[in-house]
A and B are shown apart, each in its own frame.
Chain A
Amino acid sequence: MWKEIEKRESGRVRPRSFANRVKSSRVASLQLSNHKDIVSPHKGSVNSLQVDLTEGRYLLSGASDASAAVYDVQQPQKLEGGGLIAKHKPIFVIDKQHEHRHKYAISSAIWYPIDTGLFVTGSYDHYIKVWDTNSTQAVMNFKMPGKVYSTSMSSLATSHMLIAAGTEDVQVRLCDIASGAFAHTLSGHRDGVMTVQWSNSSEYVLVTGGCDGAIRFWDIRRAGCFRVLDQSHSQLGRRPPLLERSAMTKVFVSCVVTCICILGSTSRSSSGGQNMSKATAVSRKSSHGNGAKHSGSNRISAKGSIKHRLHPGMLSSQDRATAHYGAVTGLKISEDGMYLFSAGSDSRLRLWDIESGCNTLVNFETVRLQTNKPIQLSVSEDSALVFVPCMTVVKAFDFWSGKTYFTFRGHYEYVNCCCYSALDQELYTGGNDRQILVWSPFISYEADEGTTRNEDSWSD
């Protein structure tokens, strides 16, 4: 370690690469923490965990007994075991005695991305509540038409404060904190929406995964979704090489999509099972979407199969492409915003290239995944590893080769959520056994050595 620091000091190693090397060696030694413990007050399975985005200090958890709690993961309340084990008790708990409590399970608890003064909880009792952290009171209530499966707020947003909510209902609703009302709804899914994620590259792009197996990309400034991911569209590798694109085109079927000849804008053709909407979504790449869609809609109404005229933005509702053979239970966009990782109830994990909308065919070896609840995935910084809860273990897969690098066994029952904190390189996982476990880089303790304590406080 000292040699590395000396090299950095003399300039032979760049500071960034030095930091990355230290971080990846710490991640490689992740195991059940022997010096940190989170005391969970929950009496039901832990459904959602999130570390706050501003300081990386407070962990918010939501559980099935309608309780939510916040913990300080950097400063412990108590030190036990001769000062070696830090016990982190919750700073406050919102439980069934609270006046503004939820009635049923909390499925998702997220921090307000700007600061830790607010947090949002969504529950199976059809309500989304916005809480003030300092006074622990619910300041806003949104009633949803069905059980709330997942909520999300954009961390990049500067012009809006919308909470995207995925519920049992087929429509995705956007709730506005500033006005206290619903902004608008996004329709296109055919079944409930299990996961929602905002994009890491644009504050207006939302990705949703539904129980019908479709993953849709929405631009909230427009009606309808602009892309539906189809698992049969695939590319061999990180980026489709230019020549490969022409290999991906399939033979054009003239009588189904005569419109495309009229549009004449794209050389890509639609494949089996697709129709006009997919072609317009594709043509959006080469030409700006709106013009192409408008001229297309006139032709569409002439087709016998579609009975009524559709708004050009709603053409995507006809697109029935599926990303998974079952429901989509987890979504995670990589840190650079270029790739999307999705988990489905068909026990498949897929990696999608967002730019081209194709499946990159990386095979993540999983046998079974939880099918009835949404699961929370997590990505390490610089997207080298993805942490996926697979039944009772959490597996860390290499992003590009799909190999299982680590398996974290510790929970007694199914794991529902995991959250990776990039600041300390720690992983927090919560499961049906009501525990929140901390996985941290290995620190060896020799009882008589004072230097280990030094190392501990230095590495903070």
Chain B
Amino acid sequence: MSTQDPSSSSPSKGTKRRRDEEEAAAADDAETAASESLEQSLTFSDTLVALRMMRAQFPHIDKVSIRPFVLRSQLYSSVVDRTQVDRELESLRRTKVLRIFKLNTGQDDHAIMFLDDYLNQIERAVKRMEEKNVHDLEVFEWFKIHVIDTRLEPNISHQDLCSLLSLGGKVKDNQISVLINGGVIIRQLIDPSMYWFAIPNVGSMLKGLSQGRKELLSLLSRRRYKEMLLASLEKKRLRLSPLDMRFHLRDLIGSGHLKTIKTPTGLVVRISKE
């Protein structure tokens, strides 16, 4: 495994290559990471490295302020051994480095966010609600201190939520609705007494995610042989999604809808049939 000098990351001629990275160089790499093509940084050796790189590559969107999150399928496309990804995610989750959220955009979608990003996001949501003069905002503080610290799973039952929040103070029913309005918890459809944890203000992102997926798949399926060179595909912009092409490509490759094939002229992305 060759270690790359971060300051001299010149673009290669389109071959996939693995990069070993130290943490000190992570900040330096933020700019270079953002400008790298997908072909160069498709696979990584380690889950944490992959997470950091993808977080750095998260597209900057002007209208909605949202902290970077990574989808699980993106990790699957970046690290070769999926079992290793699952296990490392599990140990990172247990040590409270990151949180995993279940999304409602499809079968088995999970979003992964670093814990400090998540707390940051909650604070922004609280500030926005303060501007709209919503009261009872101390419930978010209780939520941050008691619930997030102890409940590491993506879901929580109503009883547990109330009991944990009451460790902070007296809980009223409308405070739970304040939490739901803030977007930190969502009621489950199948089970009315269970809630999913959620990322506040992520709604437009999720809509963009599912529409972008559909658009990308239809773009490729309209072509005669249902495939396209990765380099030229990356340059296209998606009309319906605020997230960039690289994000969607990683996601679809990881969930198995697309597959990459090595050809002499570079990587080709094709729709997989099964």
Contact = CB atoms under 8 A, between A and B. Distances in A.
Interface of A: 232, 234, 236-237, 247-248, 250-251, 253, 255-256, 271-273, 275, 305, 320, 325-326, 346-348, 361-363, 365-368, 390-393, 401-402
Query: Binding site of A, secondary structure by majority: helix, strand, loop or mixed?
Result: loop
A328 to B, nearest CB: 14
A271 B107 contact: no
B269 to A, nearest CB: 16
Interface of B: 76, 81-83, 85-87, 90-91, 94, 107-108, 149-157, 159-160, 163-164, 166, 191, 194, 255-257, 272, 274
Contact of B153 (A236, A273, A275, A326): A273
B157 A273 contact: yes
A391 to B, nearest CB: 5
A12 B89 CA distance: 45
Contact of A253 (B87, B108, B163, B191): B163
B163 A256 contact: yes
A365 B153 contact: no
B82 A347 contact: no
Contacts of A251: 149-150
B153 A367 contact: no
B160 A256 contact: yes
A367 B274 contact: yes
B274 A368 contact: yes
B21 to A, nearest CB: 24
B274 A391 contact: yes
Nearest to A368: B274
A402 B82 CA distance: 8
Contacts of B160: 253, 256, 272-273
A253 B107 contact: no
A273 B86 contact: no
B90 A361 contact: yes
Contact of A347 (B108, B150, B153, B272): B108
Contact of A272 (B82, B86, B156): B156
Given A253-B164, A273-B155, A247 B94 contact: yes
Contacts of B150: 250-251, 253
Nearest to A345: B107
B274 A365 contact: no
A326 B108 CA distance: 10
A275 B163 CA distance: 13
B163 A361 contact: no
B256 A367 contact: yes
Contacts of A271: 151-153
A367 B274 CA distance: 7
B71 to A, nearest CB: 15
24 contacts: A247-B94, A250-B152, A251-B149, A251-B150, A253-B160, A253-B163, A256-B159, A256-B160, A273-B153, A273-B155, A275-B157, A305-B159, A320-B191, A326-B107, A346-B107, A361-B86, A361-B90, A363-B76, A363-B82, A363-B86, A365-B82, A368-B274, A390-B274, A401-B83
